């Protein structure tokens, strides 16, 4: 067959065609080794499984399954702790406000120096917004957060004698504090059995079928309704830790999961739970 390609193509076009050919060849080579096809297939399956879970199409857990899941979480980690460093209710409140759309690890890098200078609302106001901004500038949205922390500190002094109130409404009236932050403070500082639904708990609730919902509030309400009372105080931490370290977003570590047999996610890759003693290996 005569080659129909013109002999002299513009340099730019020849270059891009050769690059495109190379990419196709590389892709074919990877696919022949079974790599590309395998990885893409699994990722697609996982996405489809998550879509199904997010539509609330998974079977509901039975009461016995829910109790068994929390029995195992409790056996693996009897006293789970939050990972935000703090030294009193005020520094906890500030740390949670700073952690919005940021990682706990990132917040923990900035707060030791901050809390050394300001561990009370009075000291925070004295520190001032400019200095605070400088101390937390490694954290996302630091300008708005600095404004909020100064505003909430002033309000705590004016309306609550400098104390963090043990009251949801009063907490949610503070600058930068929403339902999730109030739940964390009520749970950790005051020992209330609240469940703060963050991105990890939202994913775990929907993905496993434990508590499905379209909004964090919906998932929170379902969790409060189904988690047995004796596990409610620590449920928040168990589920966050499970979502952060095992049931992670992109590639859940089902082979390290203590509730793999109970989980309803169609994309899970194993069906038998890891033994409790091996959960962190």
Interaction site with ligand SF4 (CB under 6 A): 207-208, 246-247, 252-254, 257, 259-260, 263, 265, 268
Least gap, CB of 25 to ligand SF4 (angstroms): 36
Would you list the DSSP string of 196-257? Answer: ---HHHHHHHHHHSSS--SSHHHHHHHHHHHS-GGGHHHHHHHHHHHHHHTS-SSS--GGG-
| Contact call for residues 156 and 119 (beta carbons, < 8 A) | no
- Catalytic option among 109, 134, 145, 180: 180
167 is catalytic: no
180 is catalytic: yes
- Alpha carbons within 13 A on the beta-carbon side of 155: 16
Q: Give 28 or 43: the residue with its C-beta nearer to ligand SF4.
A: 43
Q: Give 174 or 260: the residue with its C-beta nearer to ligand SF4.
A: 260
Least gap, CB of 74 to ligand SF4 (angstroms): 16
What DSSP designation does 4 have? Answer: -
Count H helices, E strands: the chain? 13, 0
Q: Give 45 or 167: the residue with its C-beta nearer to ligand SF4.
A: 45
Q: Give 90 or 265: the residue with its C-beta nearer to ligand SF4.
A: 265
- Catalytic option among 50, 145, 198, 264: 198
Least gap, CB of 247 to ligand SF4 (angstroms): 3
Least gap, CB of 51 to ligand SF4 (angstroms): 14
- Taking the chain, what is the end-to-end CA distance rounded to the nearest angstrom? 61
Active site residues: 180, 198
């Amino acid at each position: 067959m005569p080659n129909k390609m013109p002999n002299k193509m513009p340099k730019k076009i020849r270059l891009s065609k050769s690059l495109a050919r190379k990419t196709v060849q590389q892709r074919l080579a990877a696919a022949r080794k079974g790599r590309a096809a395998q990885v893409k297939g699994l990722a697609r399956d996982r996405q489809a499984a998550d879509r199904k879970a997010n539509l609330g199409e998974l079977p509901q857990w039975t009461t016995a399954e829910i109790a068994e899941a929390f029995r195992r979480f409790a056996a693996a980690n009897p006293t789970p702790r939050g990972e935000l460093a703090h030294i009193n209710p005020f520094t906890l409140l500030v740390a949670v406000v700073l952690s919005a759309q940021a990682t706990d690890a990132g917040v923990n890098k900035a707060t030791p120096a901050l809390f050394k200078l300001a561990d009370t609302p009075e000291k925070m106001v004295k520190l001032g917004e400019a200095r605070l901004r400088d101390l937390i500038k490694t954290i996302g949205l630091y300008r708005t957060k600095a404004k909020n922390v100064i505003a909430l500190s002033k309000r705590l002094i004016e309306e609550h004698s400098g104390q963090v109130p043990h009251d949801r409404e009063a907490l949610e009236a503070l600058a930068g504090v929403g339902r999730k932050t109030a739940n964390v403070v009520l749970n950790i500082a005051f020992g209330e059995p609240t469940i703060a639904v963050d991105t990890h708990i939202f994913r775990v609730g929907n993905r496993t079928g434990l508590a499905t919902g379209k909004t964090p509030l919906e998932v929170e309400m379902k969790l409060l309704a189904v988690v047995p009372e004796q596990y409610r105080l620590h449920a928040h931490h168990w589920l966050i830790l499970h979502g952060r370290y095992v049931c992670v977003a992109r590639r859940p570590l089902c082979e390290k999961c203590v509730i793999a047999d109970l989980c309803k996610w169609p994309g899970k890759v194993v069906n038998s739970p890891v033994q409790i003693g091996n959960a962190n290996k």
